[in-house]
Amino acid sequence: MKNISILGSTGFIGRQALEVIEAFPERFSVKALAGGKNWQLLAGQAKLYKPEVVAISEERHFQDLKKALSGLRIKVLFGDEGIKEVASFPSSNLVLASIVGVAGMLPVIEALKSGKDIALANKEALVVGGKLVNALAEKNKSKIIPVDSEHSAIFQCLKGEKKEDVRRIILTSSGGPFRDWDSKKIKKVKAEDALNHPTWKMGNKITIDSATLMNKGFEVIEAHWLFGLDYSRIDVVIHPQSIIHSLVEFTDGSCLAQLSPPDMRLPIQYALGFPGRLPKIWKALDLVKLGSLTFEEPRRENFPCLDLAYRAGKTGGTALAVVNAANEAAVDLFLKGKIKFTGIAEIIEKSLEAHNTVKNPDIEDLIEADRQTRNRIKKGSKIK
């Protein structure tokens, strides 16, 4: 029996993880849950899965959650400290980290300090704090098992292989809903257009990131930290069908790829069950019905966020906190109708240009770079 804590249980990945856990009750037990604003959903999850502790991020929902769970032997917490307690809960040996945004980085660090293995669905932990996260994982002998379908694919393809035999890794991208649009049409994109992803069902923020290709840029940075490869050995290719989730090319010219339907429950199941594999219960891949798989180069001139992520990754240090913070703030402005779709990349580029990078930051440096970037964007100050 594997004991699991879930950070972000009310989000898209968290809900799907609970589906996987429910399908294998003899393999998994939920010990702790942490959720965001949706206290009603969190209360329902707690009643169903009977964890020992739950935490809600916002204090204003604490009393509602506590009242809903009264009479049950469940400890109810709130805020950052409550989420940290879920992350480091002694009864758990695996933490599924799926809190969206930089808010999910500190709980991951807390879990690693406690020696937990991490099933990592939070991008920002590695995008912003990859060097710190890797150092903690090595120090405490914690495993980091990727949940993103692309990194899960690479992780599976590299199993039993030698790093020196890898020539490059190739991350696949659906291309989002605008891969065929010209630059004039892209300037007129509305939020509802960008939220209509052609193959994946995801939360709003990551869906917008997919549309701008920033999601793929962040995955490039993640891959750098997860697999220890230079950015020159990490490539991106557009694959609209989202069946090949990524590939590894070896020095002899051979390529290994992992294929499956675009269903996040599959990589979640692999991460939770690692190092073994669990029986198939989700929809199987039918290659005959699928027909064909196609590939194309990313149109970087129309989707500059991809190159901005590479730029931040190569710069390193606090530039990684800046690119993430600027993207989060810009996506929020776009969803609120305050900027154009193309304004997302413009804000990110100006934020990187305005920042003086600290090359070897500690956690306080990263938090400060994040804060300064968000404040600059919020104030609408002129970035020179």
Q: Are residues 6 and 141 in the same domain?
A: yes
- pTM score, two decimals? 0.93
Report if residue 265 sits inside a domain.
yes
Q: Are residues 163 and 114 in the same domain?
A: no
The domain of 182 spans 151-290
Total domains present in the chain: 3
Report if residue 306 sits inside a domain.
no
- 19-28, long-range: CB within 8 Å, 24+ apart, which pairs? 19/265, 20/265, 20/268, 20/269, 20/272, 21/49, 21/272, 23/281, 24/273, 24/278, 26/1, 27/1, 27/2, 27/273, 27/278, 28/1, 28/2, 28/3, 28/4, 28/272
Q: Are residues 141 and 7 in the same domain?
A: yes
Report if residue 307 sits inside a domain.
no
Q: Are residues 121 and 233 in the same domain?
A: no
Q: How far apart are CA 113 and CA 133, in angstroms?
A: 10
Q: Are residues 38 and 65 in the same domain?
A: yes
Please say which residue of 104, 119, 146 terminates a domain: 146
Q: Are residues 96 and 142 in the same domain?
A: yes
**pLDDT of the chain along its 384 residues, tens only?**
999 999 999 999 999 999 999 999 999 999 999 999 899 999 999 999 999 999 999 999 999 999 999 999 999 999 999 999 999 999 999 999 999 878 889 999 999 999 999 999 998 899 999 999 999 999 999 999 999 999 999 999 999 999 999 999 999 999 988 888 888 899 888 888 888 766 666 678 888 998 999 999 999 999 999 999 999 999 999 999 999 999 999 999 999 999 999 999 999 999 999 999 999 888 889 989 888 999 999 999 999 999 999 999 999 999 999 999 999 999 999 999 999 999 999 999 999 999 999 999 999 999 999 999 999 999 874 443
